[in-house]
Chains A and B, each alone.
Chain A
Amino acid sequence: MPSLFQQIQAGKLWDFHGGVHPPTRKAQTAQKPIGVMPLPDRLFIPLRQHIGVAGNILVASGQRVLKGQPLTSADNSMAVPVHAPTSGTIIDIGDHISPHPSALPDITITLEPDGLDEWRPQYPLNLTTSDNLSILERIQESGIAGMGGAGFPAHLKAGLTQPVDYLIINAVECEPYISSDDALMQDGAITIVKGIDILCKLLNPKAVLIGIEDDKPVASAALKAACSQREHYFVRDVPTKYPSGGEKQLIQLLTSKEVPAGRRPIDIGIVMLNVGTAYAIAQAVLDDHPLLSRVVTVTGETLSQPQNVRALIGTPVSDLLTFCGYQHQSDGKIIMGGPMMGFTLPNLDVPIIKTTNCILAPSQYELPAAGPELDCIRCSACADVCPASLLPQQLLWYSKAKDPAKLDEYNLFDCIECGACAYVCPSEIPLVQYYRVAKADIREQQREAVKAEQAKARFEARNARLEREKQERMARNKQLAQAREQAQQTDSNSNAVAEALARIKAKQAAQTTAPADREQILAEREAKKQQARAYQAEKATSKAPPESGPASANLSSPADPVKESPASAKSAAVAAAIARAKAKKAAQAQADMQEKAVDAEQTKQPEAIEPATPQAATDPRKAAIAAAIARAKAKKQADSEKS
């Protein structure tokens, strides 16, 4: 049993599941020479013509540019520049209808050719003296993106560092009508092989497999002749079947291997590039001729001269169709790409880009519009032709039911949208369209889910942070409390701490003196009353002599004033004065005491402070008592003097 490698080298071919055989209709263009168009009036060059990001704009409106001059920069590994396809003036940088199924406007540089076709200086690389890095740089700077349709930047594939078993060159071109690669191979097989040589230098594969459908005998012979000097290049004629040009399908055809779901061909040691990409690489490296034009098949029954045309990037579709003798039919359609996977254009201002391989202008009889969509009868003709071995009728069911879980279970995302299922469907169900919508819905849901997940994570992180801070705060407080306790228990002799604590407590106590203040006020008031009484008593005694009778009233004293004698009245006045003085003194003392109490409060040890407040509270009372005693004494004195 020969090894897989031996079988592959021996030319064994495998088959992939399903596939269809739509009428190829390539004869009307395949054997004609590649047409060369006059310069268009305007070129519309979209900034992004590949999978990745657009480069930064290097030119300004009104600037004159030379042929091959980069219009954008390749300052990012996913960026691929675009170039001026001919010399002329930049007349606008702004939105223009994009060559995309959505036809949404995209940023586009508009170039007005000056007809001189004047080149910028060119610096071809010498392969023998150039290192791989400079070759890769040149490929990127030349704006090369996969020309088979996907537009993946070529320098990324050519720059892969993993070991490569097989470099597969895709020359299958399985879509009906399209013959641009066929024409290129007939014309430029030698350049293509030079491009493959460069790729081999970069990737160092064990073998090169060139897959070409067996309905292109001329191109196949040209390639075989060009490869004859190279031992490890194998041209393989594969049976004509759609979609054998799909990357995964061609790998299966030539090597029997399957690219595991969600992985890339390099993971199984395979790199695949389109034949047109190999051609463009050779031109870029060996001639410093960046990607400025490409071969486009312009075909369909509404054209009087269907043919392959070498069109400058940016050429509007209208110019191409006019060049090929287009007769407009009402309700007709213009398809960019092939009849199986191409998309219809809303108008003819759409430009040709690096990935455009075909402009199809069919008559209504040629590709009639789909009839009304009928119910699925579960004939599973779709499943029989699916190259990914999916069950399209189940996917349709779950697409209609909007059941993402089931769609995932039935591997919706392994659908390559080749259209074979819809091609065979007897009920004319636009299956691929259903899958596109379902995929878009699921992607949208996933985006939403990611957003929600992020919001949730943010919210949870915030909650965690708040909780953490709270815990930290509590821990700190606990620590401080413990420290305080320790200080009280074991460190009470330590003056510094004790004093600090005392100060704190004193402060706290000061805050509680409000009631003490009130008592002080009350005491003062009492003292004032005392004064007032003493004064009245004095007045009474001073009045007493003129009234000279027991009738003279002394309101402040319960003693009977009537009995007061003038002599005793004198002594009573003296006594009253003394009492006044005493009262004053008492009030003074009271105030002094209060001041002292406050001082004590502030300076005494905590233990001593404890009764400070009550003391402060009792002081005014004492003063009041003292005042009352003084008053009583004064009265007694007055009485005794009277008597």
Chain B
Amino acid sequence: MSFKIASSPHNRVNRSTANLMLLVAIAALPGILVQAVLFGYGVLIQLLLAIVTAWAAEALTMQLRKKPVLPPLKDHSALLTGLLLAIAIPPYAPWWLIVIGTFFAVVIVKQLYGGLGNNLFNPAMAAYVMLLIAFPLQMTQWLPPASLQSDSLNLSDAVCAVFSQFSCSGFSISQLQTGIDGISMATPLDTLRTDLTAGKTLTESLQQPVFYGIAGAGWLWVNLAYLAGGLVLLKLNVIGWRIPLAVLGSLFIFSTLSWLAAADSNPSPLFQLFSGATMLAAFFIATDPVSASTTNKGRLLYGALIGFMIFIIRKYGGYPDGVAFAVLLANMAVPLIDYYTRPRTYGHKAKGTGK
């Protein structure tokens, strides 16, 4: 009789890294669907492109690193990276944009640092920032929500738009960006920023059609969908509560303070929380375990830093939304945060006072 020798513990929870990644991807589905409904098929086309590119890039790098190709594909981390980048970029951005971005995310930001678990930065956000800096025009080609579009795009139009930047009926993206009122439209955050910079008051700016609703037409629904997905992840214990709470809490606190100080030049806290990529950032991006802080106190600090940076960049920065920059800046601070927020070990006095 032969017996297997193994080291303890001999039982384990049935939750693998692949499960976790897949659960996060699934929880993002409601948000993606709302985005697709609001902005058209472009979202789904980008998603498909991103995932295929991510898989290809991952396989290629593993091949070059002379390592088994299948395991990293099975852990679904590349899929998640592609997914997060695809839903962050404008739905009708040219096809090469998402391909370059995803390739950069997987190969440069993740694999060159040593692969899963070793990257300092959130791959999707690093790629987003790279694209934003390298291709600012294409990265701001957001169409108005479908309800405000003068011409709605069907599936074939969407495919044509992504691959040729013209719809099948020959409209260019800039033409498509023009809303029903004949004015070219960007995202609510972008519009607001432009208006406020131009000296308009908040009330004046909010008169525009893109602001229908609490946080801009459609964007409220997108954020609500991601919030729902995020709550499911919390419930399933896939993510912890500390980072999302800290992100939303600090954004809420700072925007409330500014709003109370000058209500006419600062959007309301509710607008801040439900506009742009706030919920996506709080539940899906900032919670990426690899690049986030790993201690309990550190996670609160890390989340608060992201919330604060989002607020600061939205208010003073050169870009309408600051999620990607905020996350990257916080990523950089993680080693420091982790070092100074180590928990007190059982039987030891508080840190620094010896054993």
Contact = CB atoms under 8 A, between A and B. Distances in A.
Contact of A335 (B10, B12, B77, B338): B10
Most A C-beta atoms less than 10 A away, residue of B3, B17, B20, B117: B3
Contacts of A384: 240, 296
Contacts of B116: 374-375, 377
B290 A377 contact: yes
A259 to B, nearest CB: 5
B7 A430 contact: yes
A374 B71 contact: yes
B74 to A, nearest CB: 10
Given A378-B294, A391-B294, A339 B118 contact: no
A357 to B, nearest CB: 14
B9 interface: yes
A348 to B, nearest CB: 7
Interface residues of A, number: 72
A410 B355 CA distance: 10
A347 B2 CA distance: 7
A346 B8 contact: no
Contacts of B342: 391, 410
Given A332-B3, A335-B10, A425-B12, A393 B294 contact: yes
Interface in A359-378: 360, 362, 367, 369-372, 374-378
B249 interface: no
Contacts of B355: 261-262, 411
A576 to B, nearest CB: 114
B207 interface: no
Nearest to B294: A380
Nearest to B355: A261
A423 interface: yes
Interface in A372-417: 372, 374-380, 383-384, 387-391, 393-394, 410-411, 414, 417
A370 B345 contact: no
Interface in B250-296: 289-290, 292, 294-296
Interface in B167-195: none
A333 B6 contact: yes
A165 B268 CA distance: 59
A417 B7 CA distance: 11
Interface residues of B, number: 41
Contacts of B19: 426
Interface string B1-40: 1111111111111011101100000000000000000000
Given A375-B116, A426-B15, A261 B7 contact: no
B343 interface: yes
A514 B105 CA distance: 101
Contact of B10 (A262, A328, A362): A362
Nearest to B239: A379
A367 B345 contact: no
Contacts of A376: 117
Interface SS, A side: loop
A341 B347 contact: no
Nearest to A376: B117
Contacts, number: 163
Contacts of B1: 328, 347-348
Given A374-B71, A377-B116, A379-B20, A333 B345 contact: no
B3 A248 contact: no
Interface string B328-347: 00000000001000111111
A428 interface: yes
A218 interface: no
Contacts of B13: 20, 22, 423-424, 426
Contacts of A367: 10-11
A263 B5 CA distance: 34
Contact of B4 (A17, A248, A339, A344): A344
A642 to B, nearest CB: 122
Contacts of A378: 117, 289-290, 292, 294
B345 A389 contact: yes
Interface string A434-471: 00100000000000000000000000000000000000
A357 B53 CA distance: 55
Contact of B3 (A259, A263, A346, A383): A346
B173 to A, nearest CB: 38
A340 interface: yes
A516 B294 CA distance: 99
A27 B317 CA distance: 62
Contacts of B7: 343, 430, 432-433, 436
A345 interface: yes
Contacts of A389: 343-346
Interface of A: 16-17, 20, 22-23, 176, 248, 252, 258-263, 328, 330-335, 337, 339-348, 360, 362, 367, 369-372, 374-380, 383-384, 387-391, 393-394, 410-411, 414, 417, 419-420, 422-428, 430, 432-433, 436
28 contacts: A248-B346, A248-B347, A261-B348, A262-B355, A328-B1, A331-B4, A332-B3, A335-B10, A340-B9, A343-B7, A345-B3, A371-B16, A375-B116, A377-B117, A383-B295, A383-B343, A384-B240, A388-B345, A391-B295, A393-B294, A411-B348, A414-B346, A422-B8, A424-B15, A426-B13, A426-B20, A428-B12, A433-B7
Given A339-B10, A343-B7, A422-B8, 12 more contacts: A258-B346, A261-B346, A334-B3, A374-B116, A387-B346, A388-B347, A394-B338, A410-B342, A420-B9, A424-B12, A424-B13, A426-B15
Interface of B: 1-13, 15-17, 19-20, 71, 75, 77, 115-118, 240, 289-290, 292, 294-296, 338, 342-348, 355
The 8 closest A-B pairs by CB, nearest first: A419-B9, A375-B117, A379-B289, A261-B347, A380-B294, A333-B4, A433-B7, A388-B346
